[in-house]
Amino acid sequence: QFQSELISFIQKANPKTIVVLHGGGGMDMQPWADKVAASLHAWCPGQQGGQALAEILYGKVNPSGKLPITLDKKAQDNPSYASYSNPVPYYFSSANPPVEMTYSEGLYLGYRGYDKKHTKPLYPFGFGLSYTTYEYSDLKLSSNVLAPGATIQASFKVTNTGDKAGFEVAQLYVQPSRPQVDRPEKELKGFTKVYLKPGESKTVTIELDSRSFAYYSPDSVSWNVDPGKFKVLVGKDSENLALDRTVVALYPEQLTTRDSNPLPVPLRKAVQVKAEQAY
């Protein structure tokens, strides 16, 4: 509260104030986020953090990071808010015994929970600005049908539409249509970082396979794909997905131990699985 008040006072004195956040998680930015000139989340940058920040703030380095979390407008919007006792003690003693909390959000952690609640965050998962801008176009799939054991190449074009070179982190999500089980609205299934000069365009490819469309079933103790339609969504963050295509899974599929591994396909092929586990 006091830090937010301090930021507000400084911003009134100098509208060009830039706020640099240090910490291992999200912070309450709602009171001042739209008032300051810019904000930069430095996380825990280490002993060279000062040098890195100076190079970013003075334009020597074009920032390209994307949020690995969602920043909400208020604490009550957070999917895990109901799991926390109120208040949580700052220290434990005989008067303040440890508090047990159950993370009741389950599958709906982070951006998945905001999707379920239809709550618009302050800054979505995957969000991040730079000193240039990017456009996405021409999403193409190598196949619109998901066959068991096969892969699908999702290719699309990213263009630097600004006047500075930079890196963009493009993200791909999969959205099931009319799922037969309780599933998140969409899930991140791939991302890639591409360097682009001003005006340059590059085609990037993200590979998908059955694991990208599967869910875990406690009943069968396996990852399964149900027949149906899925949307492949591509864009700059979880709330700004400009491109989409449809994939159809024609047959049910129960994945093997190896294929259930969340590693990227090229790395997964190198995983050694015992014969009795390769069901």
Give the distance, in angstroms, between the CA of residue 110 and the centroid of all CA atoms in the same chain: 9
Residue 233 corresponds to which amino acid? L
Residue 99 corresponds to which amino acid? V
For residue 219, what are the contacts with CB-CB under 8 A and spacing of at least 6? none
Over the stretch 103-114, which tens digit does the pLDDT of each residue have?
888 899 999 999
Between CA 111 and CA 121 the distance in angstroms is: 9
Number of CB atoms found within 10 A of residue 209's CB:
20
Over the stretch 37-60, which tens digit does the pLDDT of each residue have?
999 999 999 999 999 999 999 999
* Both structure tokens of 235: 């864009």
Residue 234 near residue 241, CB atoms below 8 Å: yes
Q: Which CATH superfamily is domain 134-263 in?
A: Immunoglobulins (2.60.40.10)
Q: Given pLDDT bands bounded at 50, 70 and 90, which one contains residue 201?
A: very high
Q: Given pLDDT bands bounded at 50, 70 and 90, which one contains residue 239?
A: very high
Residue 158 corresponds to which amino acid? V
pLDDT (0 to 100) of residue 272: 67
Among candidates 46, 117, 56, 45, which has minimal Cα distance to 81? 117
Over the stretch 122-176, which tens digit does the pLDDT of each residue have?
999 999 999 999 999 999 999 999 999 899 999 999 999 999 999 999 999 999 9
Residue 93 pLDDT greater than 60, yes or no: yes
Residue 273 pLDDT greater than 70, yes or no: no
pLDDT (0 to 100) of residue 265: 66
Q: What are the residue ranges of CATH 2.60.40.10 in the chain?
A: 134-263
Q: Given pLDDT bands bounded at 50, 70 and 90, which one contains residue 277?
A: low
Between CA 188 and CA 180 the distance in angstroms is: 20
- Residue the block writes with tokens 């092929």: 269
Residue 269 pLDDT greater than 90, yes or no: no
For residue 162, what are the contacts with CB-CB under 8 A and spacing of at least 6? 131, 132, 133, 134, 198
The two beta strands, 38-43 and 18-22, are parallel
Helix (H, G, I), strand (E, B) or coil at 54: helix
